Amino acid sequence: MRRILYRLCLENGTERFARRKTLSPDYTEEAILERISGKRIVVPKQKTYKQDKRQGSPAVETDPIPTKPNLMIDIQMKLQQGYGEGYRNWAVRFNLKEASKTLIYLQEKGIVNYDDLSQKTAAASGAYHAFSGRIKAVEKRMNEIKELQSHITSYKRTLDVYRGYRNSNWSRKYYAAHDSDIIIHKAAKKYFDELGMTKLPPMDSLKQEYAKLAAESKKLYGGYKHAREEMISLQKAKQNADMILGEPKKPSKNR
């Protein structure tokens, strides 16, 4: 870790570095690079404990909370933006902590090399977009059903009025007395024609379809949230790994 800090400091024009006497050999520069490439496997030993509130009860060991890394800072870019020496020193320490968290996160995920990280990041992105696409399709259909139900209700409510208008031989006097209902009926009829409907679907079947879609949407959002968190964490880990390994950055408008 001391050497990584020294390396980052040299890249940014400073000779300040942090102490590493309290860190294990797994956090030397060589060890970190070996762990990312898959040559070195280290099983994290951190544990969390939950204290039972009953008097005299011992702490119960629980599963550790997964480490989620933050993006490391592009220190050189920040310096170009006018940040000073104090910020540089803080950012170097921040990057070291996030490099450590990134390695622990990759180990917890069972990711042993860079190719595996790239594949899992792409897979997580695909899963997220699959959930997102299905949710959009479900919500679109739900909106279509609601709109269709509204037009069916309006059509049936104004049907007798429109029949009276037709039976009056399109009387202007009748139209003036019922113009609002006649306009609504014509708009509903036009909507059905645009959909190519020759027969209106039963309202009960529409209600059942809507209920099924609503239940599916609720279930999808749970998977969507998890997939989004997984994708973001893996993307951050990959960007950090690229920075640690010195991979060239791809230009991005939405960095």
Q: What is the pLDDT of residues 99-118, one digit of tens each?
A: 999 999 999 999 989 999 99
Q: Residue 143: beta bridge partners? A: none
| Beta-sheet pairing, 48-51 with 59-62 | antiparallel
Which of 180, 181, 205, 18 has the alpha carbon at shortest distance from 95? 18
What pLDDT, on the 0 to 100 scale, is given for residue 112?
A: 86
Q: How confident is the model at residue 246 (pLDDT cuts 50, 70, 90)?
A: confident
pLDDT tens per residue, range 232-241: 999 999 999 9
HSE, side-chain direction, 13 A CA sphere, residue 56: 0
Closest residue by Cα to residue 71 from 204, 249, 218, 253: 249
Domain-wise residue ranges, the chain: 2-112, 128-231
Q: Is 57 exposed, middle or buried (0-12, 13-18, 19+ CB in 10 A)?
A: exposed
Neighbours of 55 (CB within 10 A): 5
Q: What's the confidence (pLDDT) of residue 14?
A: 47
**Is-contact 113 241, C-beta < 8 A?**
no
Evaluate if residue 1 carries a pLDDT over 50: no
Strand partners, 48: 62
Cα separation, 251 vs 98, whole angstroms: 22
Residue 40 predicted with pLDDT over 90: no
Q: What is the pTM (predicted TM-score) of this model?
A: 0.64
d(CA 22, CA 16): 18
